Structure 1
Amino acid sequence: MPKDTLTLPTATAFADDVLSHLRVTLAKRASGATRHDWRVALSLAIRDRVVEPWLASVDRTYAANGKRVYYLSLEFLIGRLIEDVTINLGLEDVAREAMESLGQDYQSLVAEEPDAALGNGGLGRLAACFMDSLSTLGIPAHGYGIRYEHGLFEQHFKGGVQIETAEAWLAEHHVWEFERPEVRYDIGFGGHVDYDAEGRATWHPAEEVIAQGYDTPTVGWQAAWVNTLRLWAAKPIVHFDLEAFNRGDFIGATASEALARTLSRVLYPDDTTEQGRTLRLKQEYFFVAASLRDLLRRHLFEGHALSELPDHVAIQLNDTHPALAGPELIRLLVDEHGMAFAEAMRTARACLGYTNHTLLPEALERWSEGLMKQVLPRHYAIICLLNMESLDETGIAILENGSVKMGELAFFMAHKVNGVSALHTELVKETLFADLHRSYPDRIVNQTNGVTPRRWIHSANPALSSLITETIGEGWVSDLERLRELEPHVGTASFDEAFAVAKRANKARLSDWVARETGMALDPDAMFDIQIKRIHEYKRQLLNILETVALWNEIRDDPNGGWTPRVKIFGGKAAPGYVMAKSIIRLINDVAETVNADPVTRHLLRVVYPENYNVSMAERLIPACDLSEQISTAGKEASGTGNMKLSLNGALTVGTLDGANVEIREHVGAENFFLFGLTADEVGARRTRPGHARAAIEASPRLKRVLGQIANGLFSGGEARYGDILGMLWDTDYFLVTADFDSYYDIQRQIDVAYRDRAEWTRKAALQTARMGWFSSDRTIAGYAKDIWGAKSLL
């Protein structure tokens, strides 16, 4: 739908809609309305504008009688929606003017909206970008996940230590969703399986909950298409056991409700305990089972035969979390619909695609056979049959040493398996699934990740977005490769000056926010050096903070050495049970406290670590970034999407040849990328050398000095609290922080010199934006549709 055909209300009419919701929906007068009331009324007035295109998209999907995409993901990190939806509706100017006419500041209401706590990091944000692109391209799709009551967790620091508290995003009604009480499925766990004389199985679960759907519309660009994100909340079969209550068993009376709420309460429960592992397995089955029943119901409602399922259904597994979709779809087809096992396996396989997101063995889930048999006895029996099929076809076991290997299960049950960057896909073929790849040489394909330009430049960076539109015109937001049209303008005085002004405005805005949040004053003219991502050893925030200490030492040794002022900004959470990652967080905060208090260096070096990194914080940090830290151990990052967002917004990258860094460097030019460190092949070779970590430290006086300072408690009040980090670095250092330290330190000093030539830095930064159009999630989704799903746009 072309933008000029969109029917937009006047600001006056829209203000009337807001007032109507304030009065009729919230029963409030304008004179007594709180900021919360105004935000809810604004959200509902915007949501009203989504309903008609949403229903029209549903009608066109049914009329087309074609294929739908079902995207199964344990995370959907959608962030705040007011700004996202208004921009896709073309309504942002109208909404801003309307709220100003009502005496309300539109931007402050946007900022007050809670972030939906439905994800952790890149995996969930990728799923949200993909849903945006599916709608923008007009491909009929449902996203399926869990409606977490508390999500991951809210991060706070106490004495530098990460403290996790419950995220309360659903403490108030989520105004963007539509509750679907009629969409309910009974989901069972445990129990036993009976077999009749012909071998037909009947599963008798020991406990059951209800999965109820909640729908959030996902609006594409200019509202030409709207898809559905359906999230499942667990509800009890029996809300309250009155008989137990009357017996005095007050706790037992609510046991069913407690079980149900636990299932959809928290994302990634700590799985270091047996109870945590059981809950996590139940969660994964809960959302997969509800989603498959829902899509089968829709398929049968349309009058299709189950044998036609692959013609109408494409199911994408976002990592291994939904890997139970294979056994569950077979169970539904065999046990509930009478299909033969061999046909059910072929049918399920033709529907399923599997995206692998990691080369880390610990991230490829394994469940003990005992736990699987206890929680899902029928599925365990099906997995045993699939294991025999896999051994017959490939010689590869799905069951091994008492464990169910979920990566192998997902691979075996998918007709296509994709990596998420060119390097990652090759490593999946060569290392992770080498044996399976030899058996199915055409199954693995590459789909390099992308990010939505609607959220990550047009909405998050209006200053740069306006400059782009003024320079090349409209249309680039839905055709990001048009950014190449900027390149002839890069290097001209007028464009480069405007680009620099936009960047500095974003840095000033971030500085103001940091001052409000932390009381720390930042200089917007300093280099803003940013590393934002999940805290994990392979992402090497540790390498960054060790180099920070080394830089601090050098500045103290020579305060008048012509140093380039830097602000080091970290953002990210560590999993509650990940002890080493939490130690790294504490070290970063300890170093920050010392460095920021040093009168000799604090005008040249600051370290900032804001609490509770989320989508909204990313939208502040990314447009303000000068230097993007993408420093993972080569061969460990599957792709990354933060690297794309930062580069798209004009940040230069310092990084290893890992994940999508390889392709980013190819697109922006090697001369515009700060490369350091070992390659993936060199990483493998270095690990085989006995004592490689100790040798690297001994060969680097600068690093040895830093480690000695940490060991002596310089950053921890004399307390020797980092024995775990130091022991790992001296003894094993699997992620090769020590091996890459000197290379990293040296490239950072080259970056210091490069940043001092501000005109040349601005030119290189502008080229990042001009050359990053290929990394749109629209391009990625078009690739999935063509190579994996066989799905077509209905626009």
Structure 2
Amino acid sequence: MDVNQFKERYVKKFEEMYAFDYKEGSIREQFLTLGYLIKNMYAPEWRQTSDTYLENKSKQVFYFSMEFLPGTMLKSNLLNLGLLDTVSDGLKELGLNLDEVATGEMDPALGNGGLGRLAACFMDSIASNGLAGHGNGIRYQYGLFKQKFIDGNQIELPENWLRNGNVWEVRRENKAVTVRFGGHVTLDEDENGVKRPEYHNTMNILAVPYDTAQVGYDNGVVNNLRLWSAEIPYGEEYLYPTDEARDQVKQITEYLYPDDSNYEGRMLRLKQEYFFSSAGVQSIIRYYKKMDLDWSFFPDKIAMHINDTHPTLVIPELMRILMDEEGLSWEQAWEITKKTVSYTNHTILQEALERWPVDMIAQLLPRIYQIIVEINRRHIEKKIPLYGEDLTYRTAIIDHGQIQMANLAIIGSHSINGVAKLHTDILMNQTLHDFYLMYPNKFNNKTNGVTMRRWVQISNPGLTALLDDVIGTKWKKAPNELVVLKAFANDKDVLKRLDEVKLNNKKKFAKYVQEEMGITIDPTAIFDVQIKRLHAYKRQLLNVLHILDRYSFIKENPNTDIPKRVFIFGAKAAPSYHYAKQIIKLINEVANMINNDDSINDLIKVVFVENYGVSLAELIIPAADISEQISLAGKEASGTSNMKLMANGALTLATMDGATVEIHDYVGKDYIYIFGMTNDEVQTLNENRTYHSRHLYETNPRINKVLNMLVDGSIPNTEEIGQDIFDSLVKYNDEYYLLQDFDSYIEAHKRADTDFKDRMKWNKKALMNIANAGPFSADYTIHRYADEIWKMKPGEENILLQPEA
């Protein structure tokens, strides 16, 4: 389609939809017209891809995730279809602007952070790798809450992203399935003497799928993301006569992560997990039966991957259907299930591993509970003779009245992977060591990746154009080709152009901050960025302590020559996470204090963007100079903002944690700022119990001064929270060792200050980060998943790239 054809189709489509001239349309109407036009264009390939998979009986992977955080999809679809420039030029000739039209799209906040964004990157890379793979999740009516700051405090508002509809989705009523909750189950003998489960007094919910195309990059493959919505079954409305009864159905897919601080919230969360797990498995079974193959071939044609433990009920649900509905024996069903399911672990923290009370699962999912009990019994019976009672009972699924979902996920799958080398090592040697002794061949590492299409090509067109000019365009399909950029590390013209690209991106963000927040920031300052979920172990508080230290230094040394710096935060705290919300309040009050202090000559500004999400990330990441990855070593599973920021030329300032260890190994010690304890040093400190944060407070003048600012009235409007945060660091011994790493952190920032003054030196470091970002492409990560876990290969015509061995 050329520009003229596009213009003709666009004008015609607009008039068909609205019956007036497109120039009179609102941004939303102009976007919807474009969205429906694009969807109509890829619809034949969507249908053809599905038909081809069935015709060829291709093996397919189904990726189960509680979260998908795709971001806006217009530009991504245009890029992958090869139409981005055509549409941009066509709209321009029509007197419209693509960037403005794109603002008519709502950002579906169907995730909380890295987990959901990873799932979305994987969907893009699965399609772009030419693999037969689909997502399975929940169509939440309200995404993660909309964050507002009132007097510096986080306030959560409903995020009704569907209020104007979703142009990309297709409702598939004919693919709906029924999910059962509650009641009770009896095992009754049939005419052949075989015991069959009978369900009594269940609450039946209709799961209706909404499908969204996942368009592959320049390869004609269009896969599917299926999100399920809970509805009252047709003809059974009389069973739900009251508003309260109808609300019980609606609530299942109403909110992402309902408040689980009480029993009702926990029960709703469990309903959500079973709802999309059961609906997805039923849908897959129905598809498999179309192939008319023996059940023994099921693992050869189907792979089910569970992203964290939220979809672990896939395991007993697959067992239930294979036994109860398809008549397989326990042994047959168990063998199929183990070979079909694989599991990604996303946490090192024992306390974060998901557990459910036995009584809750028995009440809500009686048949599933029976199957879990039997899986557990057989596991214990089989393993005690081999490993003894101690090890076996430590790996049991049911313990002290709790069902341990990670244990079920490991026992019921054939593969368990971590998401960074350090993370996987910790899983094998610490967190899941008992299971590693039992199942060493199940464990493997798959370091996370990000899609360079969204995070460079779409988010940073200036850098994309520079790369195309300097190294050609191969990197777009083979990101390892970015390494060619190293040849230009000392090319002054290239470094100057890189500096100009960064400055333009910083000006764009500065304009947003001025217009939306009323804060003036200098684009020539260091833009120091920390964007991630607000959690104590991620140590946003350490960042704040550095800001206060720097502020004090400037107040005492007004003629200092340190470069200007803008500290940029983006983060949401879970609604019930009181301490994290206190840190948000602290950051906002520190920002108010510093931003309104004329005596420091704008040497520091602090910007905390409201309602951080994918769209804001696309604005912030290309503008970043420093990437803060400062979690306590051994606590972050991987991180993906580190990869996105690196690919856009930000220099990483970090502990040796998560995937940052691998970034360090690729980019080299001269192009990254490492500080703080290593994981081994943290473990030694934990074991020796010799850490005394009060001693550091009392003996380190710099720490003493900064912490006193929390409680001496230096920071307005923080009296109560300042004392609580002070106590967490001094009285309660600083759980995440902020004070232990403080001096090292300050020194790392000093090195960055010095380097930033030398523009050619800094730009060379930025260039080396971009040049080494290729291995962190999700395309390579997915290639490894497909090759080593899912045992899948793309069709020859759809091979996007040939990754390094």
TM-score by length of 1: 0.96
Pairwise mapping of residues 10-409 of structure 1 onto structure 2 (< 5 A)? Answer: 10-30=2-22, 32-197=24-189, 198-204=194-200, 206-237=202-233, 252-394=241-383, 395=392, 396-409=395-408
Deviations 1:553-608 (A, max 9, x none): 11111111211110000001011111111111111111111011111225100000
Contact 2:492–2:760 (CA under 8 A) maintained in structure 1: no
Q: Given residue 109 of structure 1, which amino acid in structure 2 is its aligned partner?
A: V
What amino acid is the match of 1:68?
Q
Give the counterpart letter for 1:704 in structure 2: N
The separation in 1 between residues aligned to 2:773 and 2:200, in whole angstroms, is: 54
* Distance of 2:651 and 2:568 partners within structure 1: 15
Cα–Cα, structure 1 residues 309 and 759, in superposed 2: closer, same or farther, change >3 Å? same
> Quick one: distance in 1 between partners of 2:639 and 2:239?
54
Contact 1:14 1:45 in 2 (8 A): no
* Cα distance in 2 between the residues matched to 1:255 and 1:18: 45
Query: What is the 5 A alignment of 1:677-692?
Result: 677-687=676-686, 688-690=688-690, 692=692
Do structure 1's residue 479 and structure 2's residue 478 form an aligned pair? Answer: yes
**Cα 1:415/1:113, change in 2 over 3 Å:** same
Report 1:375-524 matches (<5 A).
375-394=364-383, 395=392, 396-524=395-523
| 1:83 Cα deviation after fit | 0.8
Match of 1:738 in 2: 739
Structure 1 unaligned blocks of 5 or more? 1-8, 245-251
CA contact (8 A) 1:209 1:235 kept: yes
Q: Distance in 1 between matches of 2:701 and 2:128?
A: 54
CA-CA distance at 1:144 after TM superposition: 0.4
User: Conserved in 1, the CA contact under 8 Å of 2:589 and 2:718?
Assistant: no
Do the aligned partners of 1:595 and 1:602 also contact (CA within 8 Å) in 2? no
Distance 2:216 2:442 in 1: 31
**What CA distance in whole angstroms lies between the structure 1 residues aligned with 2:699 and 2:379?**
49
Partner of 1:358, secondary structure, is: coil
How many angstroms apart in 2 are the aligned matches of 1:152 and 1:362?
Answer: 23
Q: Write the distance in 1 (CA, Å) between the matches of 2:490 and 2:609.
A: 35
Q: CA deviation at 1:26?
A: 3.8
* 2:719 match: 719
Distance 1:691 1:393, change over 3 A: same
In structure 2, the residue matched to 1:703 is: 703
Residue in 2 that maps onto 1:766: 767
Counterpart residue type for residue 530 of structure 1: V
Cα distance in 1 for residues equivalent to 2:53 and 2:769: 38
Q: Aligned partners of 1:19 and 1:672: how far apart in 2?
A: 50
Contact 1:356 1:418 in 2 (8 A): yes
* Secondary structure of 1:233's aligned partner: strand
Q: For residues 25 and 444 of structure 1, what CA distance do their matches in structure 2 show?
A: 53
Partners of 2:398 and 2:381 in 1: how far apart? 13
* Separation in structure 2 between the aligned mates of residue 119 and residue 332 of structure 1, nearest angstrom: 29
- Is 2:306–2:312's contact at 8 Å kept on the other side of the alignment? yes
Q: TM-score, length-normalised on structure 2?
A: 0.95
- Which string of whole-angstrom CA distances, capped at 9 and with x for unpartnered residues, describes residues 356-396 of structure 1? 01112232110011111111111111111111122234412
The residue that corresponds to 2:622 in the other structure is: 623
1:3 corresponds to: none
**1-structure distance, mates of 2:521, 2:440:** 53
Does the 8 A contact of 1:66 with 1:311 survive in 2?
Answer: no
CA contact (8 A) 1:526 1:566 kept: yes
Indicate conservation of the 8 Å contact 2:586/2:718, yes or no: no
Displacement of 1:609 after TM fit?
Answer: 0.3
**In 1: Cα distance, 2:291 partner to 2:237 partner:** 39
Indicate conservation of the 8 Å contact 2:586/2:721, yes or no: no
Partners of 2:276 and 2:201 lie apart in 1 by 17
Report the Cα distance in structure 2 between the residues aligned to 1:696 and 1:742, rounded to whole angstroms: 11
Q: Secondary structure at the match of 2:172?
A: strand
| CA displacement at 1:671 relative to structure 2 | 1.1
Q: Secondary structure at the match of 1:609?
A: strand
Counterpart for residue 631 of structure 2: 632
Residues 393/569 of structure 1: CA separation in 2 closer, same or farther (3 Å cut): farther
- Matched residues in 1 for 2:571 and 2:643: separation? 17
The farther-off stretch of 527-536 and 710-719 is: 710-719
State whether residues 50 and 223 of structure 1, in contact with CA within 8 Å, keep that contact through their aligned partners in structure 2: no
Q: C-alpha displacement at 1:519, in angstroms? A: 1.0
Residue aligned with 1:359, SS? coil
Question: For 1:151 and 1:363, how far apart are their aligned partners in 2?
Answer: 22
The code of the aligned residue for 2:110 comes to L
- CA deviations on 1:328-361 (whole Å, 9 max, x unpaired) are 1101111111111122111101000000011122
Cα drift, residue 690 of structure 1: 4.6
Q: Secondary structure at the match of 1:567?
A: strand
Q: Which aligned pairs between 1:576-725 and structure 2 lie closer than 5 A?
A: 576-687=575-686, 688-690=688-690, 692-717=692-717, 719-725=719-725
Given residue 322 of structure 1, which amino acid in structure 2 is its aligned partner?
P
Quick one: structure 1 residues 677 and 190, their matched pair in 2 at CA, closer, same or farther if it must change by over 3 Å?
same
Instruction: Render the CA deviation track for 1:382-419: whole Å, top value 9, x for unaligned.
Output: 11111112223441211111100011111111100000
Measure the CA separation in 1 of the matches of 2:747 and 2:501.
30
- Structure 2 Cα separation of the partners of residues 31 and 641 of structure 1: 41
1:248 corresponds to which residue?
none
The offset of 1:28, in angstroms, is 4.0
User: Using a 3 Å threshold, how does the CA distance of structure 1 residues 191 and 718 change in structure 2: closer, same or farther?
Assistant: closer
One-letter code aligned to 1:305: D
Q: Which runs of 5+ in 2 are unaligned?
A: 384-391, 799-805
- How much is the aligned-residue C-alpha RMSD, in angstroms? 1.5
Count of residue correspondences: 780
Query: 1:10·1:94 contact (CA, 8 Å) conserved in 2?
Result: yes
Stretch of structure 1 that moved more, 383-392 or 560-569: 383-392
The residue type paired with residue 89 of structure 1 is L
Q: What's the offset of the Cα at 1:238?
A: 5.6
The separation in 1 between residues aligned to 2:296 and 2:706, in whole angstroms, is 64
Cα separation, 1, equivalents of 2:20 and 2:402: 58
SS class of match (2:558): coil
Q: What do residues 142-170 of structure 1 show as CA deviations (whole Å, max 9, x unaligned)?
A: 10000110011100100110000000210
